[in-house]
Amino acid sequence: MDIKSVIKSICLNPRKFFLENLGVRQTIFKNTFWLAVAEAVSRFLKLILIIYVARILGATGYGKFNFALAFVALFAVFSDFGLSQITTRELSRDNEREKELSSLFSLKILLGLGTLLLILIGSFLITPEPVIRRLILILGIYTVISSFGAIIFAFFQARQKMEYQAMTKILEAILVTAAGFFVIFYFPSVTNLSYSYLFAGLTALIFILIFFHFKVYKLHLDWQKSIWQRFLSMSWPLALAGIFGGIYTQTDSVVMGYLGQLTQTGWYQAAYKIIGVTLIPTGLISQSFFPALSLAFSQSKDYNPPTTSSHSPKGERAPRLQKIWNYFMDLMIILAIPIVVGGIVLGPRIIDFIYDPSYFPSILAFQILILMAGTSFLCSPFGQILVVANQQKKLLWITLSGAIVNVILNLILIPRYSLYGAAAATVATSVLILFLLFKFTANLTPIRPFNLKSLFSFFGAILASIPMYFLIIQPQIYHLNIFFSISIGASIYLICFLGYKKLLVQFRILR
């Protein structure tokens, strides 16, 4: 489905195009659109809140809040245990398994209670400060409450009806932002801010459960241990992978907080929050492609992982799966390169626009971390296809390797270089994970990760980024409002890249 077809379909019947599944590309476009709307609204509202929180509470207060949040995030995976992604995969392949959702929801309750117990015990080991312990407990309850919505979202993703997920996510963002602003302006403190998060999360969950129960699927408590055992036997590698992933994404803030570098934690998280915004397309596109990849894999005939004696080209085993994956990878490449180049150049302007001068130490950390963002874009297609191909155990070993390397690097670099050492450790870990993902994808899935189509996209993205770079470094463009600078850079990149692709098609290099 090209751009002209999309525009034509929208004009003819917009309601049908945005609310029904009509084909693979249209469904991916529709789901990505809804997730993009939700993520854009959610991130925009929360970013505005974060700006005021950082300014009003200061780097130290902001650092305490993020230290508690990072510590809680280390335990968040226990409340899901990989069930959401496995649920999406299994339900997208067989609609009959939707009747097992109530058992999975009951299992989530037990996992949530266990997670809260672990967080409570851990809070006494990580810090002696009562205020931070209270923050950890409140944010822990908020995290567990939010995890219940994940199993509902997994159901929507399996049906490829992300519009429902989008609506509930927007609601939660509105509630968090409204409650957060009320607290920050009238009762400013990190403890009250955490209570506002808890209130918003609980209210959003109640709405989601009521809507889902009466409009989509009637939930009830069902304690079928056989269903628990079957799903947990599939999800435990993802759970462990999530634990190790949480270690290498949250250890930096936890180590800095443990060493008493709370102000540096605030600076680091100020940069990291903006990096999170740049990563929005990764999550959106991944969620949209995952059901389509899962269905295409299940329809590929008699696929077995290649052996050394196999001489048949891998791409011939699952052409439809390869085609969808190539489309996925191309999008990631096209987005990753300009984000890295633009982020490094415009980093000082971005930090200056969002925060006050006390956050200028965040600039270098942001410029280092933007390299991790680009790597994360490229990692996404590899990680998704490994899960689709039932190779989630390999993700366990990949994230374990990343966690070990990250912890070692953080312990070495943070005491000497503080937040900049943490940023460098994060980038090094992401590069290692990309290498391992590529290797396992090439060896254990029907996908050919190294192919001419992706190679042409990579070179095209680099070539299109060169004029973008020379344009945005010009003082007339660089010192404009940051949104204008980004828009001009993105426009020239897009024009150059489309021109590049048109030349390839014209000379029959790319079909």
The residues, ordered by sequence, that sit 6+ positions from 195 with a Cβ below 8 Å of its Cβ are 138, 183
Q: How many CA atoms lie within 13 A of 190 on its CB side?
A: 25
Of the pLDDT bands very low, low, confident and very high (cuts 50, 70, 90), residue 433 is very high
For residue 496, which of 479, 471, 478 has the smallest C-alpha distance? 471
Mean pLDDT of 338-347: 94
Our CA angle for 432, 436, 438, nearest 5°, is 115
Sign of the alpha-carbon torsion through 193, 196, 200, 201: positive
pLDDT at 24: 61
Percentage of the chain beyond pLDDT 70 is: 88
* pLDDT over 50 (residue 440): yes
- Dihedral, CA of residue 241, residue 242, residue 248 and residue 252, to nearest 10: -160
Our CA angle for 277, 281, 287, nearest 5°, is 125
For residue 24, which of 407, 293, 224 has the smallest C-alpha distance? 293
- Biggest CA pair distance of the chain: 70
DSSP code string of 103-143? HHHHHHHHHHHHHHHHHHHHHHHH---HHHHHHHHHHHHHH
In a domain, 172, yes or no: yes
* pLDDT over 70 (residue 507): no
In a domain, 480, yes or no: no
pLDDT tens digit sequence for 71-125: 888 787 788 777 777 777 777 766 667 777 778 888 888 888 888 898 888 888 8
The residues, ordered by sequence, that sit 6+ positions from 230 with a Cβ below 8 Å of its Cβ are none
pLDDT at 21: 58
Q: Tell me which of 178 and 211 has the higher pLDDT.
A: 178
d(CA 407, CA 248): 7
The residues, ordered by sequence, that sit 6+ positions from 352 with a Cβ below 8 Å of its Cβ are 360
* pLDDT over 90 (residue 367): yes
51-56 long-range contacts (CB < 8 A, ≥24 apart) are: 51/354, 51/355, 52/181, 52/184, 53/180, 53/184, 53/193, 54/266, 54/270, 54/355, 54/359, 55/355, 55/356, 56/184, 56/188
Of the pLDDT bands very low, low, confident and very high (cuts 50, 70, 90), residue 312 is very low
Which region among 5-19, 226-240, 248-262, 396-410 has the lowest average model confidence (pLDDT)? 5-19
For residue 209, which of 113, 108, 114 has the smallest C-alpha distance? 108
Count CB-CB contacts under 10 A for residue 380: 22
Mean pLDDT of 479-488: 91
**What's the number of domains the chain is made of?**
1
In a domain, 327, yes or no: yes
Of the pLDDT bands very low, low, confident and very high (cuts 50, 70, 90), residue 307 is very low
pLDDT at 82: 77
In a domain, 18, yes or no: no
d(CA 101, CA 239): 19
Count CB-CB contacts under 10 A for residue 307: 7
Of the pLDDT bands very low, low, confident and very high (cuts 50, 70, 90), residue 323 is confident
Which region among 205-209, 391-395, 424-428 has the lowest average model confidence (pLDDT)? 391-395
d(CA 20, CA 161): 8
pLDDT tens digit sequence for 404-428: 898 899 999 999 998 899 999 999 9
Phi, psi of 116 (to 5 degrees): -60, -40
Which region among 47-51, 304-308, 463-467, 504-508 has the lowest average model confidence (pLDDT)? 304-308
For residue 221, which of 387, 318, 109 has the smallest C-alpha distance? 109
131-136 long-range contacts (CB < 8 A, ≥24 apart) are: 131/64, 131/190, 131/191, 132/64, 132/67, 132/68, 134/191, 134/194, 135/64, 135/65, 135/68, 135/190, 135/191, 135/194, 136/68, 136/71, 136/72
d(CA 451, CA 14): 36
For the chain, the C-alpha Rg in angstroms (whole number) is 23
In a domain, 503, yes or no: no
In a domain, 506, yes or no: no
Of the pLDDT bands very low, low, confident and very high (cuts 50, 70, 90), residue 394 is confident
Of the pLDDT bands very low, low, confident and very high (cuts 50, 70, 90), residue 11 is low
Percentage of the chain beyond pLDDT 90 is: 19
- Is the CB of residue 264 less than 8 Å from the CB of residue 256? yes
- Is the CB of residue 192 less than 8 Å from the CB of residue 183? yes
Of the pLDDT bands very low, low, confident and very high (cuts 50, 70, 90), residue 310 is very low
pTM: 0.68
In a domain, 133, yes or no: yes
DSSP state of 316: G
In a domain, 509, yes or no: no
Q: Tell me which of 481 and 43 has the higher pLDDT.
A: 481
Of the pLDDT bands very low, low, confident and very high (cuts 50, 70, 90), residue 49 is confident
pLDDT at 94: 65
What value does the mean pLDDT of the chain take? 81
Which region among 45-54, 144-153, 242-251, 252-261 has the lowest average model confidence (pLDDT)? 242-251
pLDDT at 206: 87
**Helices and strands (H and E) in the chain: how many:** 17, 0
Structure tokens given for 466: 């060169």
DSSP code string of 46-107? HHHHHHHHHHHHHHHHHHHHHHHHHHHHHHHHHHHTTHHHHHHHHHHH-GGGGGGHHHHHHH
Q: How long is the chain?
A: 511
For residue 265, which of 243, 246, 250 has the smallest C-alpha distance? 250
Of the pLDDT bands very low, low, confident and very high (cuts 50, 70, 90), residue 13 is low
* pLDDT over 90 (residue 148): no
Domain with 361 in it: 31-300+315-450
Q: What are the C-alpha distances in Å from 215 to residues 160, 209, 210?
A: 16, 10, 8
